[in-house]
Amino acid sequence: MFTGIITDVGEVIGAEGGRFAIRSRYDADGIVFGASIACDGCCLTVVAVRADGEGSAFTVDVSNETLSKTTLGAWQAGRRVNLERALKAGDELGGHIVSGHVDGVGRIVSMHADGESLRVLLEVPEEIAPYIAPKGSVALDGTSLTVNEVDGLRFGVNLIPATLTQTTWGRKKPGDEINVEIDLFARYVARIMEFRE
């Protein structure tokens, strides 16, 4: 489990088929084989790790299912990715409960300044849209965000300056694709309602 609070921005340094190597500032001694790290919101399992400068380089294997349902299929060396280590017992839950199981890919429609913040309008596939609610939570590229408004397949979020500088959001632009994870509770409520109909 994760919180959607990004703790590092890593860099893809190797991409071959479904195997990616990612450089991070995380201490290599603190990453064990089998550890879960959310990479742009996707919960991935570490299969190798080594010290790399002041941090680490870890390797993950990605299934064809994940490659087809997320932005990972387009990852190339040099791409910057949001990273978050898995929660430990007693950690602060600063964002919202995030599983790292991406529901689909959205697209940035527009971005514009709103005071010191940035307003972002996104569009999601029809199968995801019903689970996104005003003032609800959503994880976008692994970042826990609050939904401002919803209009059909589109919804808006507001990014504060800290989010823009501490994540990959400061590099995003209209047209970019984004990994979307709907709120965990919305997913379960919808499933329960299926059986009540």
How far is Cα 118 from Cα 160, in angstroms, rounded to an integer?
7
135: Cα within 13 Å, side-chain hemisphere: 0
- CATH 2.40.30.20 domain range(s) in the chain: 8-85, 104-196
What is the CATH class of 8-85? mainly beta
Q: What is the pTM of this model?
A: 0.93
Pick from 104, 89, 84: which is nearest to 44 by CA?
84
**In three state form, how does the secondary structure of 3-56 look?**
CCCCCEEEEEEEEECCEEEEEECCCHHHCCCCCEEEECCEEEEEEEEEEECCEE
Question: CA dihedral in degrees (146, 114, 9, 147; nearest 10)?
Answer: 10
> Is the pLDDT reported for residue 192 higher than 90?
no
Q: pLDDT for 113-165, tens place per residue? A: 999 999 999 999 999 999 999 999 999 999 999 999 999 999 999 999 999 99
Higher pLDDT, 96 or 77: 77
pLDDT band, residue 91 (cuts 50/70/90): confident
pLDDT digits (tens, 9 = 90+) for 78-88: 999 999 999 88
What 3-state class would DSSP assign to 170? helix
Q: Assign domain 104-196 one CATH number from 2.170.150.70, 3.40.50.300, 3.30.10.20, 2.40.30.20.
A: 2.40.30.20
Alpha-carbon distance 46 to 24, whole Å? 13
pLDDT, position 156: 98
Q: Is-contact 176 107, C-beta < 8 A?
A: yes
Mean of the per-residue pLDDT values for the chain? 94
